[in-house]
């Protein structure tokens, strides 16, 4: 469920008067996502997405996210384009929240990832990295390595409620990951959350990337590692090297990974898995019963983490 804030017809009509996109034709909530309230909006000029940013989002960072999306769209990446109002701004108050309208991207995300999804996904990720290179403002990755130890500490007292020994396993793994974390790799703007539900396909082709609200300035190859975690494991948590090879082939067709980036893939993949273990573990232990969002099982990423900890080189990923 991803409609936390209801919008009345009267409030929406007043809000739309701030834009030059016509009058409302249809308006409905979108029951996907976890962070914000999203609505599909159809006006007399076309289809849009209306997003109300909820309390977990730092509204001070919204201009950076929307600015990055504008830059990427202007440089050929298929992603939502923020719509500017009559005053030139792209953020407005609505129903007690800060809200924005973006263009609508056609397509659906793959409920079951197939090998044929992976190569275009890799290519799109590389294009994102290249397109973002000219966007000067930066944003530190709050969910990068510096944030992992504090996040683990919040969950350690209850981690063994999920699995006996989990707290100790994660502490040891995190110490090893941070000790081996690479320095000096190429850095730029990354998506950092490019899961299948943030990638649309239409008529067998990738039609766009969405949800840039975890984007940050960080290691490019770390973004590749996030995708290896999200796209290349089967439902039994076995790693599908054919999917990995396709994803990497797509990426390398547009941007090369240098020798240091390739050698760092195992620890980057460990770090990416750890990031999602920790956020899911925290939510699993702290989401109250009856909440609108169902927390995701952190053990899904513990199993991925265990695979990456056994990987000795980039060969484990098909390179």
Q: Which residues contact 49 (CB under 8 A, 6 or more apart)?
A: 30, 38, 39, 40, 41, 80, 101, 102, 103, 104
Q: What is the pLDDT of residue 54?
A: 86
Domain boundaries, the chain: 9-103, 115-317
| Full-model pTM | 0.94
Instruction: Give the chain's end-to-end CA distance (angstroms, integer).
Output: 39
Q: What is the pLDDT of residue 1?
A: 41
State which fold the 9-103 domain adopts.
Phosphorylase Kinase; domain 1 (3.30.200)
pLDDT digits (tens, 9 = 90+) for 229-277: 999 999 999 999 999 999 999 999 999 999 999 999 999 999 999 999 9
When pLDDT is averaged across residues 198-202 and rounded to a whole number, the result is: 97
Q: Quick check: 55 pLDDT over 80?
A: no
Please give the Cα distance from 77 to 81 (Å, whole number).
10
pLDDT digits (tens, 9 = 90+) for 27-51: 999 876 567 889 999 999 999 999 9
When pLDDT is averaged across residues 172-195 and rounded to a whole number, the result is: 98
Q: What is the pLDDT of residue 32?
A: 67
Tell the burial category of 48 from Cβ atoms under 10 Å away from its Cβ (0-12, 13-18, 19+): buried
CATH 1.10.3720.10 is held by the domain 115-317: no
């Amino acid at each position: 469920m991803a409609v936390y804030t209801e919008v009345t017809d009267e409030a929406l009509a007043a809000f739309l008067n701030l834009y030059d996109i016509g009058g409302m034709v249809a308006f409905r909530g979108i029951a996907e996502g976890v962070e914000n309230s999203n609505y599909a909006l159809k006006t007399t000029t076309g289809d849009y997405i209306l997003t109300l940013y909820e309390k977990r989002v730092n509204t001070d960072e919204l201009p950076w996210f929307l600015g990055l999306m504008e830059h990427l769209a202007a440089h050929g990446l298929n992603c939502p384009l923020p719509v500017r109002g009559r005053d030139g701004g792209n953020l407005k108050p609505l129903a007690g929240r800060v809200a924005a309208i973006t263009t609508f991207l056609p397509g659906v995300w793959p409920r079951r990832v197939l090998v044929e999804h992976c190569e275009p996904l890799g290519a799109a990720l590389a294009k994102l990295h290249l397109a973002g290179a000219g966007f000067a403002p930066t944003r530190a990755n709050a969910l990068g390595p510096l944030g992992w130890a504090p996040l683990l500490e919040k969950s350690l007292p209850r981690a063994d409620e999920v699995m006996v020994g989990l707290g100790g396993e994660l502490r040891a793994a995190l110490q090893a990951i941070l000790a081996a974390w690479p320095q000096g790799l190429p850095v730029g703007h990354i998506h950092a959350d490019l899961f299948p539900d943030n990638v649309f396909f239409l008529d067998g082709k990738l039609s766009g990337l969405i949800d840039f609200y975890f984007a940050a300035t960080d290691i490019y190859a770390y973004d590749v590692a996030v995708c290896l975690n999200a796209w290349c494991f089967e439902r039994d948590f076995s790693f599908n090297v054919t999917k990995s090879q396709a994803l990497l082939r797509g990426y390398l067709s547009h941007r090369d990974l240098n020798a240091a980036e390739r050698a760092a893939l195992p620890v980057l993949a460990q770090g990416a898995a750890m990031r999602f273990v920790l956020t899911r573990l925290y939510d699993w232990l702290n989401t109250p019963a009856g909440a609108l969002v169902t927390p995701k099982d952190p053990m899904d990423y513990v199993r991925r983490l265990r695979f990456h900890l056994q990987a000795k080189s980039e060969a484990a990923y098909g390179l």
